[in-house]
Amino acid sequence: MLKTLLILFGFYFFPAVAPTISKEKIDHLKDFALQQGCNDDYAIFIDMSKPSNEKRWHVVDLSSMKVVFSTYVAHGKGSGEGKQAEVFSDKPGSNCTALGIYKVTGSFIGEHGLGYSLDGLEETNKNALNRSIVIHSAWYADDDFITKYDRCGNSWGCPAISAQALEACKPYLKPGTLIWIYR
């Protein structure tokens, strides 16, 4: 009972610390956006050094350098079927997550409902279009799944998020928005 009260007291008086993305990473992506003629309002940073039971998808307002939304995101089963992504590849058929900077090219309705097509802009992810790497919703990235299994499920290489998170991210997933998957 006392432990529960202390935990509740802590949540009330000491709110969780917002995730931070380094100034260097944000500046790099802002410069990249300007060089490529991409959207420089918001960008999405996906930190694959974190396990999938931690929020590693972060929408950042590039002008204020503040995280405005965070959520869980799946990695490809070829990158590791546990909670940690270990292997990264852009090879077709690998089912891996590929590291690098991507650009949202548009939206579509597909097998998973609303999705966003991605173009890989670096050597490490240049096959994104051919591999059909897209942002889509997935039941295995939902809070209930993560609570039950202590991790996200695995995609075939796509950065999959919950349906609720995808809905919340709609204003940020405009054509030209950059997404950086790194570790």
1 compared with 12, residue with greater pLDDT = 1
Q: What are phi and psi of 77, to 5 degrees?
A: -65, -25
Distances (CA, A) of 69 to 43, 51, 66, 149, 171: 11, 18, 9, 23, 11
Least-confidence region, from 18-22, 100-104, 143-147: 18-22
Q: For position 18, what pLDDT does the model report?
A: 58
Whether residue 62 is predicted with pLDDT greater than 70 in this model: the reply is: yes
Answer CATH for 18-182 from 2.40.110.10, 2.60.40.2380, 3.40.50.410, 2.40.440.10: 2.40.440.10
How is residue 50 annotated by DSSP?
S
pLDDT band at 113 (very low <50, low <70, confident <90, very high): very high
Whether residue 13 is predicted with pLDDT greater than 60 in this model: the reply is: no
The per-residue pLDDT of the chain, averaged, comes to 91
List, for residues 28-37, the tens digit of each pLDDT value.
Answer: 999 999 999 9
List, for residues 75-99, the tens digit of each pLDDT value.
Answer: 999 999 999 999 999 999 999 999 9
> Can you give the pTM of this predicted structure?
0.89
